[in-house]
Amino acid sequence: MSRIKQCFKNLEKSGKKALIPYITAGDPSPDYTVTLMNALVKAGADVIEIGMPFSDPMADGPVIQLACERSLAAGTSVKKVLQIITEFRQGDKETPVVLMGYLNPIEFFGYQAFSDAAKEAGVDGILLVDLTPEEAVDVVECFRENEIDLIYLLSPTTTPDRAKKICDLASGYVYYVSVKGVTGSAELDVDSVKKHVDSLRAITTLPIGVGFGIRDAKTAAAVSQCADGVIVGSVLVNAIAANKDHQKEYIADALSAILLPMRNEMDA
């Protein structure tokens, strides 16, 4: 059983929901990322999404765009991201890691070569924002061979027919984008999220994670009432930006101070 599937199975047994934080690899420095990942796990993360920096992250708002710029300026490459995951795996064999990014760097690396390298590094899932189901047929197979889950985005504007097609291709979990817009762009309408999540449950048995617009413990707890996972990104990345000139331990404490109340509220 994959780490992602096992994680959600264990959470279901205990009556809890997954807390899934996102940070950008290499922000503000590649040397910081493993320390930050470990801090997220200690603060209650069940799965970690790691952004692979890209020069044109079209689904992301200014906060994550700037994180990508800082990371790239610090010399973070796709190979460096995989080295970071390898280092993390030396101390953590259990926490699922999902890489999130865009198609261009992976296509340049080579799908099969990247899939093989990701498997060796200890990656559990991949979310490529701009990989559409129609273009994913050949790509899906090279990741499936390596037992790496392909995670897809669904949005408020996804039609039922298309949602079914996406869910049939996906594995691990599906990522429901709770707002119309880029990351960090809008206030969350929890009632609307619940309505859409309920409709998705009619077409898939996969766990459903909800992201975009979750900024605090209150909204995390509210979303956890209807979703299987709560995905938190921009608020954490913003905290990294605000403290980027400090030591990594200081930034780790800042992230923990955000995530731990979310964990506590969700469990309560």
SS3 call for 169 = helix
Instruction: Report CA dihedral (100, 125, 95, 87) to the nearest 10 degrees.
Output: -70
- For residue range 19-73, list pLDDT tens digits in order: 999 999 999 999 999 999 999 999 999 999 999 999 987 777 789 999 999 999 9
| Residue 147 annotated to the active site | no
- For residue range 180-206, list pLDDT tens digits in order: 554 444 567 788 899 999 999 999 999
**pLDDT of amino acid 263:** 98
Range of the domain at 190: 3-267
d(CA 60, CA 68): 10
**Among candidate residues 172, 189, 187, the one with its CA nearest the CA of residue 228:** 172
d(CA 82, CA 72): 15
Mean pLDDT of the chain, nearest integer: 93
User: Can you give the three-state secondary structure of 202-245, one letter per residue?
Assistant: CCCCCCEEEECCCCCHHHHHHHHCCCCEEEECHHHHHHHHHCCC
The total of structural domains in the chain comes to: 1
Which residue in the list 27, 31, 56, 60 is annotated as catalytic?
60
d(CA 88, CA 67): 20
**pLDDT of amino acid 191:** 86
Cβ atoms within 10 Å, residue 17: 26
Contacts of 21 (CB under 8 A, 6+ apart): 40, 45, 48, 49, 231, 232, 233, 236, 255, 259
Which residue in the list 27, 46, 49, 149 is annotated as catalytic?
49
**Which residue stretches of 15-77 are H helix?**
33-42, 62-73
| Residue 60 annotated to the active site | yes
Residue 91's pLDDT band (boundaries 50, 70, 90)? very high
Contact 44, 21 (CB under 8 A): no
Read off the CATH number of the domain in which 193 is found: 3.20.20.70
**Among candidate residues 262, 178, 258, 255, the one with its CA nearest the CA of residue 212:** 178
- For residue range 148-178, list pLDDT tens digits in order: 999 999 999 899 999 999 999 999 999 999 8
Quote the DSSP letter at residue 94: S
